[in-house]
Structure 1
Amino acid sequence: MTVTGILLAAGRGRRFDPSGRRNKLLQTLGAEDDSGGPGSAVVVLSARHLLAALPRVVAVVRPGAEAVAAQLLALGCELTTCPLADTGMAASLAHAIGRAREADGWVVALGDMPHVQPSTIQSLKTALEQGAGIAAPMYRGQRGNPVGFSRRYLPQLLALEGDQGARGILKHSPVTELDVDDIGILQDVDTQADLHPKDNT
């Protein structure tokens, strides 16, 4: 079974910087990180953790995001640009899935979640390989990201629209929930305060 990573890195991050001058994905984390060391960009850490568990990662960016694209290409991600990225996350997700539609399953990760452990991603991959239709990680009773989807959801993923991503699919479908010791599944970089070190234990 072939499971492909999907990295969503096409958002504008307006809450992080309403002016749009600072792309949150390119900001560096102050925390020491085993994968990237201090000073690695948010999107670099997110991508590295995905690449550590999956042999193929398709990253989607918005038009004009050359700096983000360059960093992801340097890491070994396959890159695709979604011309409709500004219409919402669903457009970016559907676009990326279309690029990797031949896969048997996908682990969909967010470019602004750099604390997710590779072991969590590996657990999602294993769940898909063992027959789960949708797999999601749980930390102390809270569901987080990334989320794994099997090929049976390909038509629904390709048909996504709006800014809710795949939430509608998750709401109306059975989900295999995996308990993980990884608070990173709940931690995104939404504001500048989120760049400060956090305990990921």
Structure 2
Amino acid sequence: MPKPNEPILVALVLAAGSSRRFGSDKRLFAYNGTPLLQRSLVIPIQLGLATTVVLKPTDELFLPSLLGCYLHHPLLKVVYADDALLGMGHSLSAGIRSILQSSKSVEGALVFLADMPSLEVKTVRDIIRRFDSNKIVVPTYMATNGSLKAGHPVLFSRPWLKQLQKLSGDNGAKELLKKNPENIINVALDDKGIFLDIDHPAEVPGAKT
């Protein structure tokens, strides 16, 4: 629960992808002994955020394996995106729609991806500290060539949530961010975990199945 004077924020974890490039269900792939999806839930739940995870309808049969110890966690809610296979935009839209329908007091949503196991809890705290009730907070990392590389989680304030629920296709919120640079707060962070996602088993050092 947020403390007095703190914004009421929630987490949205997108986990309805097909894992085509991975070759198997990467959400179950063990990273240091913990399946990727369950690992993605650690930080938002540790921070006490009400967390919505978006899955495919067919995942309902496999919830114990997918969610593990979080299966009945009071902070966790599962939403099924009927058209998830059409792209990330559909999953994002389904998750945001559920959040807006369930609470009129939510002031912002942090959008996480379910395949980024290197993300640090301090990073998410730093993003939350930069919350603005009218802006979008984007974590960035400065590459060796001096360019800024954007990552996740992205923190959207409530005015942007209604636009997110209209998304479709496979680009997620990229087009929305591209069209609204003046409304973005870029937060420079020393955490490569904001963009290190897992597309192939070989990309997880020391991982075991």
The TM-score, its normalising length taken from structure 1, stands at: 0.85
* Largest Rg, 1 or 2: 2
8 Å Cα contact 1:46-1:115 kept in structure 2: no
1:49-68 correspondence to structure 2 within 5 Å: 49-65=43-59, 66-67=62-63
Give the whole-Å Cα distance in 2 for the aligned partners of 1:41 and 1:69. 8
Task: Tell me the number of residue pairs that the alignment of Structure 1 and Structure 2 aligns.
Answer: 185
Q: 1:124 aligns with which of 127, 147, 150?
A: 127
Give the whole-Å Cα distance in 2 for the aligned partners of 1:179 and 1:46. 22
The structural deviation recorded for 1:170 is: 0.7
Give, as a single letter, the amino acid of the residue that structure 2 aligns with 1:97. I
Give the whole-Å Cα distance in 1 for the aligned partners of 2:72 and 2:161. 29
Structure 2 residues without counterparts, runs of 5 or longer: 1-6, 143-147
8 Å Cα contact 2:17-2:84 kept in structure 1: yes
SS in 2 for 1:43: helix
Q: 2:167 aligns with which of 160, 169, 179?
A: 160
Percent sequence identity over aligned pairs: 29
Partner residue in 1 for 2:10: 4
Q: 1:40 aligns with which of 34, 37, 43?
A: 34
Q: Which deviations, in whole Å up to 9, do the C-alpha atoms of 1:38-97 show, x marking residues without a partner? A: 311111111102222242111010122224554342455211111111111011101101
Give the whole-Å Cα distance in 2 for the aligned partners of 1:23 and 1:11. 9
1:85-104 correspondence to structure 2 within 5 Å: 85-101=84-100, 102=103, 103-104=106-107
The structural deviation recorded for 1:157 is: 0.5
Partner residue in 1 for 2:71: 73
Give the whole-Å Cα distance in 2 for the aligned partners of 1:6 and 1:88. 16
Partner residue in 1 for 2:188: 179
The structural deviation recorded for 1:155 is: 2.0
The structural deviation recorded for 1:126 is: 2.1
8 Å Cα contact 2:38-2:67 kept in structure 1: no
Partner residue in 2 for 1:188: 197
Structure 1 residues without counterparts, runs of 5 or longer: 30-37
Structure 1 window deviating more from structure 2 (140-149 vs 119-128): it is: 119-128
1:144-155 correspondence to structure 2 within 5 Å: 144-155=151-162
